[in-house]
Structure 1
């Protein structure tokens, strides 16, 4: 019998290494079809999963309680599986160079527990060559096995969009690749068990790695263009959202919008590609230009707030400012790599300590990473200014009268609406000094 047939029959198991926003939903999806071992080094996270709690909010507590995934923090359990999927983060260092320590660490642990006849598939976003040039030597060294002979490898870039209930693992075409045709066929068939949208067989592992890293680079560049337009149109006194709505009536206009670019993908992945390009002697022009624009948007928002406080004849130093939303995207608890922190830190330079409210965020994580404690919505009163930074469902339902209750009475109300949730005409007619990207 083939490995695929052994997995389908229950004779062999699949393991998921890394149970975060990407890995956990993958493990749960496969567990509906086959036997799955879910491994993560974070014992607290494993304890939550075992108790039926989903800290990511990606699939929900009910699904976690019912899943058959064998959640474990014991690396030895990986020896029970023959098909391994590695889905760990690939962040960047402070100097924007790739931090491959998570994927190297995962390769080390997996290598120490790898058995002959296994297939290892990496999902972490990397620059072309990482799987074969960095991960494989670690697997071989730790296992004593030879890649291509004793075990096989592949790459299938993750495309899960955290917080998105429509575009899920099952509904997005999955790119798959393998070290040889036989491995590619096995990997494709295994993923086809859960991916209803089907799979795309890439020509090689490097092609699959490159495809993933340019997906997010493309979005990053397009959003950077929108952010630059926003800066220009604000100087002209033109509403950017209105311009984009008008331009969007043409069939081939790409509907991107300005905003803060944070998270683990769009704001990170382009640096992986430009790093490899630099190694080969090419200095990126377009990609890094887009990165600079997007990385500076938090500072731009903070400066715009200060200018609007001055325009409203309000004191800047010690101003009472509330920031609604802190996560890197709406309806998601993840605060890692959020760009809202850039607004917060820049306002601190002006001697403003904002009140931050985020009912969806992981408060413990935010305190640990940034030293910030969240306030309740009740604390947002008698404000000089309010920044709506994230489009959580709790904020999209706010009406003009709700915003009015946040400010000092008989005073000009400064409202920065980064996501463009409000009706500009309505807010200005109600007396707000309204600004948005």
Structure 2
């Protein structure tokens, strides 16, 4: 029997290294078909999983309670498996160069516990060449084994979309590559155990690595185009959402919208490709231009918030702004590389006091990464502007009249407002709007209704 047959007969085990937003759902899926060891160096995370708690909210507590995944932080347990899947993050440094520390560390840990006959599949998003040129030498050095003789490697990029309950591991075609035909065949069959729609067998490991990194680069560029259009249309006095709705009636118009681009994929992966291109003597033009547009959107939103507050006759220094939503995308607790922080930091440069409301975000990560302690929405009172940055499902029950109650009382500012009106023959203030500024980044609210009660702005 080959390794695949031994896995389905449960005489050999699979290990999953890295139990985050991507790795944990993969481990849970495989546990329905095989014996699997779920390994992570974070003991606190392992303890939560063992208690039946899903801190990622990707599969839910009930699924974690019932899964047969053998959760462990003991690296020696990796010796029990012959098929290893490495699913650790691949972030970037502050200078936008690839930070391969997690994948290198995982390779060292696995290498120390690698046994003959193993197959190692990397899922982390990297630039072409990382698996064979960086990870394999580490595995060989730590294990004393020879790749191609004592163990084999492959690559199968993760395509899980955190927070997306529709596009899951089981419903997304899995790209699989192996260093040789035998490895490719075994790896493909193993993944077919859990991927209902099947796999695509890539020609080589480098092809699979490149396929993954351009998927997110493409999305990044398309969103950058939408963000640039939003900037242009605002100058023209045209509503971007209305334009996209009209253009979307054509069958081949791509369904993208403007917004903040963060997280550990779209806002990061393009830099892996441009880094490798620079090493080869080519300076990216389109990819990096798109990255710059998207990286600047937080500042752009903050500047427009301040402009609206000035129009509402607000004193900017010392003003209070509530920001609803902090995670990098809706309906996920992940705050890694969120670009909402750019809005906050820019507002703080103006002397604005910012209060964050996010019932979904991981509170410990919020404090550890950003020193931010979130507020409950019921605690938001006396603010000068409200920014809805992330459209969590939890926010969709909030009504415009609820938002209105969060602002400073118009009585408190009446005297200052009257003085401003008396000082000019024409004022931008609409007294019926009570100088309430509402910034609706993703267009959660009906524009016409919002404009009746607020000085309203959206991308």
What range is the shorter-chain TM-score in? over 0.9
Is the counterpart of residue 417 in structure 1 residue 440 in structure 2?
A: yes
Residue aligning to 1:435: 457
1:254 aligns with 2:254: yes
Matches within 5 A, 1:223-238: 223-238=223-238
Counterparts of residues 159-308 of structure 1 (less than 5 Å): 159-308=159-308
Whole-angstrom CA distance in 2 between matches of 1:48 and 1:428: 45
| Structure 2 equivalent of residue 70 of structure 1 | 70
Separation in 1, partners of 2:143, 2:323: 50
TM-score normalised to structure 1 length? 0.99
* 1:345-364 matched pairs, under 5 angstroms: 345-364=345-364
TM-score (norm: length of structure 2): 0.94
- Matches of 2:314 and 2:352 in 1, distance apart? 13
Q: Distance in 1 between matches of 2:212 and 2:374?
A: 35
Match of residue 35 from structure 2: 35
Partners of 1:380 and 1:82 in 2: CA distance: 54
Deviations 1:223-252 (A, max 9, x none): 000000101111111110001001111111
Q: Check if 1:49 corresponds to 2:71.
A: no
Deviation at 1:408, TM superposition (A): 2.5
1:130 is displaced (CA, Å) by: 0.1
Unaligned 5+ segments in structure 1 are none
In the TM superposition, residue 403 of structure 1 has moved relative to its aligned partner by: 1.6
Higher Rg of the two aligned structures: 2
Runs of 4+ aligned residues of structure 1 deviating over 3 Å after TM superposition are none
Task: Give the corresponding residue for 1:7.
Answer: 7
The superposition leaves residues 354-375 of structure 1 with CA deviations (integer Å, 9 ceiling, x where unpaired) of 1100000101111000011101
Within 1, Cα distance between the matches of 2:277 and 2:259?
27
- Secondary structure of the residue aligned to 1:354 is strand
Q: How many residues are treated as equivalent by the alignment?
A: 436
Secondary structure, aligned partner of 2:211: helix
CA distance in structure 2 between the partners assigned to 1:191 and 1:6 by the alignment: 14
Q: Kindly state the Cα deviation for residue 406 of structure 1 after the two structures are TM-superposed.
A: 1.6
Distance (whole Å) between structure 2 residues aligned to residue 85 and residue 7 of structure 1? 14
User: Aligned residue for 2:312?
Assistant: 312
Residue 138 of structure 1 corresponds to 138
User: Cα distance, 1:409 vs. partner?
Assistant: 3.6
- Quick one: distance in 1 between partners of 2:339 and 2:229? 19
1:200 CA drift (Å): 0.3
Cα drift, residue 404 of structure 1? 1.5
CA distance in 2, matches of 1:407, 1:148: 66
Q: Deviations over 1:260-311 (max 9, x none)?
A: 0000000000000000000000000000000000000000000000111011
